[in-house]
Amino acid sequence: MKLSRPVSWFLLAFGVWSWVIWVTFVKNLIKDGSGLAFDDGHPTAYFWVHLLLAVVSFVLGTVIGGIGLRGLRALRRTS
């Protein structure tokens, strides 16, 4: 299957965006002072659920971005 240039760029941008957003979120999650993420210094269920969401998003962002990158490389080879 061939991906068009706009679709490849979109997938690559989605992968990068996913990493930027979730890295920022995890940094803020670790520094949380509201008591949602940590209770007396121990991680709460909120922390673990959101850390799991971040890890899944890292994996999906990497895979989707990789597909976009492969699409762009394939287009460059055929041009």
**Can you give the residue range of the structural domain that contains 34?**
5-77
pLDDT at 1: 78
pLDDT at 36: 93
CA distance between the termini of the chain: 16
What is the spatial distance between Cα 32 and Cα 27, in angstroms, rounded to a whole number? Answer: 9
pLDDT at 54: 97
Total residues belonging to the chain: 79
How many domains does the chain fold into?
A: 1
The model carries a pTM of: 0.85
Tokens 């991906």 belong to residue: 3
What is the spatial distance between Cα 15 and Cα 11, in angstroms, rounded to a whole number? Answer: 6
Give the model confidence (pLDDT) of 10-34 as tens digits. Answer: 999 999 999 999 999 999 999 988 9
